[in-house]
Amino acid sequence: MFRILQTAYYNGEEVTVHGYNKLTKIYTVYNEKRDKTYMLKENELSLSPAKTDTKEVRDSNHVNALQDSKTDHSLDEGYKAREDRLKPIKKALSNYIVEEIWEMVDYQIAKVCTKNKEIYYAPFLNYKILPKFAFTFDDAVLLCLGYKYDNGRSDSLVYLRRLLNMNYRKK
């Protein structure tokens, strides 16, 4: 599902880092022992094992339900909020297999796979699908820019795409 980037430590336990968002500076990490995924800031992770006194280490098995829910509550809300934002995209692409979705302020780009195993990039502007699919991620970004600033009618967008030798597929 995810590509493992490296191993790190969170609260004295080993976790695997699966992703990093440069804009928000948040890591996506997975703890195999607890079978949980966390969204953590840079200062919450350690790349080397923490040297702690055994008296100070708290046994995680004896954490009550209230403490456990407080630990992961904000992370679950962030995950649920993203899933809610992505619902219109997944609904618009129900005929395709959605592999990945990128969000960039006003633009959203989904990497989709057809039944014939062809890969396309579906551009969205404020979570509304644009009428053209792109063959490359770069072309999808250009389509988003063209539709945002000129509703896709600009000749400059056509010339730029020809210059970069980009094609598109109508929906």
| CATH 1.10.3470 for domain 6-87 | no
Distance CA 38, CA 72 (A): 8
Question: Max CA-CA distance within the chain?
Answer: 69
How do residues 40-68 score in pLDDT, each as one tens digit?
887 777 766 655 444 444 455 555 554 55
pLDDT confidence bin for 166, thresholds 50/70/90: low
pLDDT at 118: 92
DSSP label of 131: S
> pLDDT: is 1 or 3 the higher one?
3
Give the residue range(s) of CATH 2.30.30 domains in the chain.
6-87
More confident residue, 67 or 114: 114
Q: Distance between CA atoms of 168 and 171, rounded to whole angstroms?
A: 9
Number of CB atoms found within 10 A of residue 96's CB: 18
